[in-house]
């Protein structure tokens, strides 16, 4: 495949409500979109990097720079030999920058699949037509406000609730949600690294609430700490930030640092590495689910396809478009009986809406090949 042009386009989308996690609050999502043009097809993808390096070390301005100055030249060097499957090895000499690598691989894969007429789901090996939808619920000012938000999501049909937690916002909100919505609610929590192993006894107080899992309680490099914590609490430990590759996943599983994995293609360098994590986890009998980075319809479409693979056995953070955006960049993903439909058209199967795109665009830059 020969690329003719790569466009980097910065967009900004307002969120329907502020989203607060243990690392900060955001009210709008600023995103770099990558648009790849070949003689035969076009591909779109979105970079997950946020404005500030708080979820991980990556951030959007640095990502734009590394894409332009360090990653694209390596793709240009491949010439006609470029395929989505070769992106990973071509970019491997550049250390880190998974989100920046992931967006390039995803845009090229989209173009390649649109050219061959295959869907993301078909290519990755999805075995389901629809996937169950969970929702990630931010930290709120009061428990009453939280209960109202959760009630609203359940009324819409979400099949699993994930509460963001941090020290000072953990036992009380979890207890309140469990008491109000009962023992059958699929409920889990996500700390985004906000605790230390010294908090083990406190976190064990979550045990009676029968949570599906606790996600990333400790620091992202602290695999041994997670292994120790897993022995001290009853709730299953799930890793998010710690897992940046299939090798990380294998190590974490072998160490007993997690018994469940949150797979985010953007965090691990792309959909191909995400599938390898799915496979490693499956071989160990470790269930996985698909995380989210407040994607627009572009990234959401590909995530939903990935979530159709067989070892994605827990509902993901694959929510409907209107969980985050009043106006998505594509036709909205909507809940149908608590599920999202895996797109079947070529590539991601979604089309970017030109008028919406124009409205949210802040800047653009073209890189000719």
Residues designated catalytic: 164, 264
Local structure of residue 298 (DSSP, 8 states) = H
Compute the least distance from the CB of residue 190 to ligand NPQ, in Å: 5
**N-term to C-term CA, the chain:** 12
Dihedral (Cα; 97, 321, 261, 162), 10-degree rounding? 120
Per CB under 5 A, 240 contacts Mg ion: yes
Tokens of 150: 């959760």
> What is d(CA 247, CA 256) in angstroms, rounded to the nearest whole number?
14
Angle at alpha carbon of residue 25, lines to 31 and 248, rounded to 5°: 70
Which of 317, 320, 333, 342 is the binder for ligand NPQ (CB under 6 A)? 317
Provide, rounded to whole angstroms, the least separation between the CB of residue 201 and ligand NPQ: 24
Map residue 79 onto helix, strand or coil: helix
Partner interacting with residue 136 (select from ligand NPQ, Mg ion, none; CB below 5-8 Å by kind): ligand NPQ
Bridging pattern class, strands 361-368 and 3-21: antiparallel
| Count of other CB atoms within 10 angstroms of residue 207 | 11
Coil, helix or strand for 245? coil
Question: Which listed range, 47-55, 61-69, 99-107, 236-244, lies at the site for Mg ion (CB under 5 A)?
Answer: 236-244
Kindly determine how many residues on this chain lie close enough to bind ligand NPQ according to the rule CB under 6 A. Answer: 15
Instruction: Tell me whether residue 259 or residue 266 sits nearer to ligand NPQ (CB atom).
Output: 266
Distance CA 11, CA 361 (A): 4
Binding status of residue 26 toward ligand NPQ by CB under 6 A: yes
Q: Is 192 in the site for ligand NPQ (CB under 6 A)?
A: yes
Per CB under 6 A, 153 contacts ligand NPQ: no
- Torsion sign across C-alpha atoms 22, 243, 29, 365: positive
- Whole-number minimum distance, CB 25 to ligand NPQ, in Å? 9
Q: Does 103 participate in binding ligand NPQ (rule CB under 6 A)?
A: no
C-alpha of 165 from chain center:
18
Binding mask 36-65 for ligand NPQ (x = CB under 6 A): --------------x----x----------
Decide if 47 contacts 97 (C-beta within 8 A).
no
Task: Name the nearest CA neighbour of 162 among 136, 133, 193.
Answer: 136
C-beta of 20: minimal distance to ligand NPQ in Å? Answer: 9
Containing 361, the helix (H) or strand (E) segment is strand 361-368
By beta-carbon proximity to ligand NPQ, the closer residue of 237 and 294 is 294
19 makes contact, choosing from ligand NPQ, Mg ion, none, with CB < 5 to 8 Å by partner type, with ligand NPQ
Question: In the bound complex, which residue of the shown chain has the CB atom lying closest to ligand NPQ?
Answer: 136
> In this structure, how many other beta carbons lie within 10 angstroms of the beta carbon of residue 64?
18
Q: Does 190 bind Mg ion (CB under 5 A)?
A: yes
Nearer to Mg ion among residue 190 and residue 222 (C-beta) = 190
List the interface residues with ligand NPQ, window 258-297 (CB under 6 A): 291-294
- For ligand NPQ, the closer CB: 38 or 262: 262
Interface residue list for Mg ion (CB under 5 A)? 190, 215, 240
Interface residue list for ligand NPQ (CB under 6 A)? 19, 21, 26, 29, 50, 55, 136, 190, 192, 240, 291-294, 317
């Amino acid at each position: 495949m020969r690329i003719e042009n790569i466009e980097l386009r910065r967009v900004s989308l307002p969120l329907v409500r502020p989203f607060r996690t243990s690392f900060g609050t955001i009210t709008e999502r600023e995103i770099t979109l990558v648009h790849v043009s070949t003689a035969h097809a076009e591909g779109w993808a979105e970079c997950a990097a946020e404005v500030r390096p708080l979820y991980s070390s990556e951030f959007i301005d640095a990502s734009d720079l590394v894409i332009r100055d360090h990653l694209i030249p390596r793709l240009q060097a491949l010439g006609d030999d470029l395929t989505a499957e070769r992106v990973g090895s071509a970019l491997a000499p550049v250390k880190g920058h998974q989100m920046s690598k992931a967006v390039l691989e995803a845009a090229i894969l989209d173009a390649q699949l649109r050219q061959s007429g295959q869907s993301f789901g078909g290519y990755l090996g999805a075995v389901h037509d629809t996937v169950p939808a969970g929702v990630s619920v931010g930290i709120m000012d009061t428990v009453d406000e939280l209960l109202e938000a959760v009630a609203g999501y359940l009324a819409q049909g979400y099949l699993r609730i994930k509460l963001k937690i941090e020290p000072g916002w953990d036992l009380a909100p979890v207890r309140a949600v469990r008491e109000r919505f009962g023992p059958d609610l699929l409920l889990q929590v996500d700390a985004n690294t906000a605790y230390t192993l010294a908090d083990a006894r406190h976190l064990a107080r979550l045990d009676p609430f029968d949570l599906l899992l606790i996600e990333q309680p400790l620091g992202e490099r602290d695999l041994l700490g997670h292994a120790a914590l897993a022995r001290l609490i009853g709730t299953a430990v799930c890793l998010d930030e710690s897992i940046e590759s299939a090798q990380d996943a294998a190590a974490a599983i072998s160490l007993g640092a997690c018994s469940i994995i949150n797979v985010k293609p953007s965090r691990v360098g792309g959909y191909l590495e995400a599938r390898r994590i799915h496979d490693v986890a499956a071989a160990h009998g470790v269930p996985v689910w698909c995380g989210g980075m407040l994607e627009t319809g572009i990234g959401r479409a590909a995530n939903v396809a990935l979530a159709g693979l067989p070892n994605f056995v827990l509902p993901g953070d694959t929510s409907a478009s209107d969980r985050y955006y009043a106006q998505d960049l594509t036709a909205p993903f909507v809940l149908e009986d608590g599920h999202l439909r895996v797109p079947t058209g070529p590539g991601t199967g979604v089309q970017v809406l030109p008028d919406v795109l124009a409205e949210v665009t802040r800047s653009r830059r073209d890189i000719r090949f």
